[in-house]
Structure 1
Amino acid sequence: MIVTLSDTTTSAIDRRLTEMRHSGGAVALGRVLSLVVVTSPEESEPVIEAANDASREHPCRVIVVLTGEKRGRSRLDAEIRVGGDAGASDVIVMRLSGELAAHPDSVVVPLLLADAPVVAYWPSNPPADLADDPIGRIAQRRITDAMTAKRPVTALNKRREAYADGDTDLSWTRLTLWRAALAAALDQPPYDKVTEAVVTGEASSASTELLAGWLAYALKCPVRRRTNKGPGIVSVRLERKAGAVVLERPDGQTATLDQPNQPTRRLALARRKLNECLAEELRRLDPDDVYADTLTKGVPKLDAKAPAKKPTASKGRS
């Protein structure tokens, strides 16, 4: 069910939402958090769809703030979605105009779930300092996605400059399966120390940068970042005395894992979708210390002199 309210107020939105839930017989749904999404009208629908999918694992209230024209009189237009149009959540889409657009927190706070954590998500064009942003200040967790920037690695470096506890990026979330596969490989004999690592992927892949930074911080060894046409992360090579561990995914779907004295293994390592990444990030509401160390301590350790090929046209980033 979808209801549109023009030139409205937060009180009217809350009242109408309550009426819709009662009339729809869905008053007993337990919601665990409020997810505030700040986005543009052009990109809102794919993001709402991903949030709806994620809400099936984490029932929540999704509040979507659409950036609008800051000139003219203040105006709030809203759309309320419940039931089949909202996954396992309430969805409130708000378009702010005039002076109200400069103070989104004033319309978000009255609609937050009482005594529930708040997660803020900027699919693109996040503020320079997330924790000091009006929406960021009310959130325990703040999610960005460097992949949507014109220069993802540059965007990632900006996130490092203004990092605060609770910040995270979906470029990091896309690494979960890679990190698990590499950790499992190193958890088998022989337990030789890794002496050097080489991470290869697209020059524009923020995930490749973070994977290299994670290895540099976790293994305390030199890590070289090499570039090719991708897609995304292509391979990781870990040098050890007994022989190299090589995890390679040339097609963005299936990887092969080669280890000394073991047969080659094939692993499902498809590039992750937005709803999967968002659902994973909503599982934790405490600061991600491993991401923090990777971003602020690991990435700066990367060898800037590593040989690199000139990147060619890519099929995407991850």
Structure 2
Amino acid sequence: MIVDLPSASSQDVSKKLVRLRNQTGAMTLGRVLTLLIVADEADADAALESASDATRQHPSRIIALILGNKRGASRLDAQIRLGGDAGASEIVVLRLYGPLTNHGRSVVTPLLLPDSPIVVWWPAESPNDISASPIGAIAQRRITDSATDKAPRKALQRRARSYADGDTDLAWTRLTRWRGLLAAALDQAPYEPVTEATVTGSSDSPSTDLLAGWLATRLRCPVQRARTRPGQGMVSVRLERASGPIDLVRTDGSIATLTQPGQPVRRINLARISDAEALAEELRRLDPDEVYEEALVRGLSVVGASSITASRAVAEGEAPSLDEAERAGRKAQREGRRLTGSAMVDAEPAPAPSSEEEVKQASARRLDRKKAEREGESDGASRPAKGSGTAKKAAGRSSAARKSSS
């Protein structure tokens, strides 16, 4: 169900929501939070689609503030989406024009769910200080995406200077699996300390910067940032130890190889997650993310802004080679197929199917055995048991003897 309310007010939208609730039932029951989306017209459709998918796990009231042309008279065009057009949530789209674009907080306040958390998401451009902005000040969680900024590394630096409890970034959320794999690799023998680390990624990848900051604060060792051409995202991590390096390399957009001393090369699914998956992960928690704060505020300053090219890092042996990782991954894949095929060959073969004549003969033999068994049971029931007459005569003599004695 889609209901359009052109040239409306917040009060008109609120009254319409109440009437729809009375007609269709208590829509707000089960809504766990209010998700505010602040975007322009170009990013609105993609953001609404991602939010609708993400809130299937967290049913919410989604309020999209779409900032239109700031020139001209103030106007509010609203749209309400319910049912199949909104997934598990209810969506209120508010398009603001003219001076009203500067008063988004006043517009959305009457539409917030009572006594429920408020989360704000800026899918593209965001204020310099998100916690001090009018919309951000009313939210418990504030989600940005520095990867969509025109200058991602500068956006991270702004986030670090103005960080407040509740801030987070989808560039950090996209690192969850990388951090989990690296932590799992270090949680195995020989439990040696990491002496240095190199993180390689594209020059416009804020996730690479955040991962380098996280390793610097957690491992307390020198961490170097190596850069590749823009658009590649995260590429590799090398952790140096006395027994040899641990290399995690994403050779393409979805498959990575993990190499450790004394262990076979492993191929791992490490596909880039969508915005909807990243947003759903962030909506699972509403408390401050202290690990993100440490990586952002302290880690970036420890690593610094300087970096070297990935080719130089590989030439100096400080970063793994992407070509070597690809060859190792293909070799591990072939070895896995060979072992699987060998196991199938060594398995005990299935019995050969019997011919039709053999099946008929076996069936006839089973019928003959059952017939013989039935005939044997019938003969045993009709004949007296062996020695039964002698027993009756002995019982008669015993009875006569008792009568004479009495």
Contact 1:222 1:303 in 2 (8 A): no
Instruction: Establish whether residue 81 from structure 1 lines up as the match of residue 81 from structure 2.
Output: yes
SS of residue in 1 equivalent to 2:252: coil
Correspondence for 1:43: 43
Q: Which has the higher mean CA deviation after the structures are superposed, 176-185 or 147-156?
A: 147-156
Q: Which structure has the greater CA radius of gyration?
A: 2
1:270-303, Cα deviation, whole Å (9 max, x unpaired): 0110000000010111111100000000111115
Residues 1:133 and 2:133 aligned together: yes
Relative to structure 1, the CA distance from residue 50 to residue 298 in structure 2 (aligned partners, 3 Å threshold; closer, same or farther) is same
Q: 1:43 to 1:26 in 2, by over 3 A?
A: same
Aligned residue type for 2:170: L
User: What does residue range 216-231 of structure 1 map to in structure 2 within 5 Å?
Assistant: 216-229=216-229, 231=232
Alpha-carbon contact 2:43-2:124 (below 8 Å) kept: no
CA contact (8 A) 2:227 2:307 kept: no
Cross-structure match for 1:236: 237
**253 and 73 in structure 1: CA distance in 2 versus 1, 3 angstrom threshold:** same
Instruction: Identify which range, 11-20 or 206-215, moves more after superposition.
Output: 11-20
Aligned partner of 2:298: which letter?
K
Contact 2:207 2:234 in 1 (8 A): yes
Paired residues of 2:247 and 2:260 also in contact (CA < 8 A):
yes
Please give the alpha-carbon distance, in whole angstroms, between the structure 2 residues aligned to 1:289 and 1:19: 43
CA contact (8 A) 1:223 1:303 kept: no
CA distance in 1, matches of 2:87, 2:290: 31
Note the C-alpha offset of 1:25: 4.2
- 2:289 matched residue in structure 1: 288
Alpha-carbon distance in structure 2 between the residues aligned to 1:61 and 1:127: 23
Say yes or no: does 1:253 pair with 2:254.
yes
Match of 2:213 in 1: 213
Pairwise CA RMSD: 1.6
Residues 252-282 of structure 1: CA deviation (Å, up to 9, x unaligned) = 2011111111111111100110000000010
SS at match of 1:198: strand
Identical-residue share of aligned pairs (%): 54
1:1-318 counterparts in 2 under 5 A? 1-25=1-25, 27=27, 29-229=29-229, 231-302=232-303, 304-309=305-310
Deviates more, 1:70-79 or 1:92-101: 70-79
In 2 relative to 1, CA 262–111 (structure 1 residues): closer, same or farther, beyond 3 Å? same
Give, as a single letter, the amino acid of the residue that structure 2 aligns with 1:123. Answer: P
Q: CA deviation at 1:197?
A: 0.3
Please state how far the C-alpha of 1:17 moved relative to its aligned partner.
Answer: 1.8
SS at match of 1:78: strand
Tell me whether 110-119 or 226-235 shows the greater mean CA deviation.
226-235
Letter in 2 for 1:262: Q
Shift of 1:247: 0.5
1:87 maps to amino acid: G
Counterparts of 2:26 and 2:83, CA distance in 1:
8
Q: Which runs of 5+ in 1 are unaligned?
A: 312-318
| TM-score, with structure 1 as normaliser | 0.94
Question: Residues 93 and 310 (structure 1 numbering): CA distance in 2 closer, same or farther, change over 3 Å?
Answer: farther
Distance change (3 Å), C-alpha of 1:306 and 1:134? closer
**Distance apart, 1:78 and its partner CA:** 0.3
Per-residue deviation, 1:18:
2.6
For 1:203, the aligned partner's letter is S
Deviations 1:152-173 (A, max 9, x none): 1121111112111111110000
Query: Which SS does the other structure have where 2:309 is aligned?
Result: coil
- Does structure 1 retain, via aligned residues, the 8 Å contact 2:226–2:310? yes
Corresponding residue for residue 315 of structure 1: none
Contact 1:234 / 1:252 at 8 angstroms: preserved in 2?
no
Q: CA deviation at 1:7?
A: 1.1
CA distance in 2, matches of 1:114, 1:101: 24
Q: Could you tell me how far 1:71 is from its partner in structure 2?
A: 3.3
Tell whether the 8 Å contact from 2:251 to 2:257 is kept in structure 1 after alignment: no
Q: Secondary structure at the match of 2:286?
A: coil
TM-aligned CA deviation for residue 307 of structure 1: 2.6
Q: Which structure carries more relative contact order (alpha carbon 8 Å, separation 6+)? A: 1
Distance 1:26 1:115 in 2: 16
Count of residues paired in the alignment: 311
Q: Distance in 1 between matches of 2:181 and 2:257?
A: 11
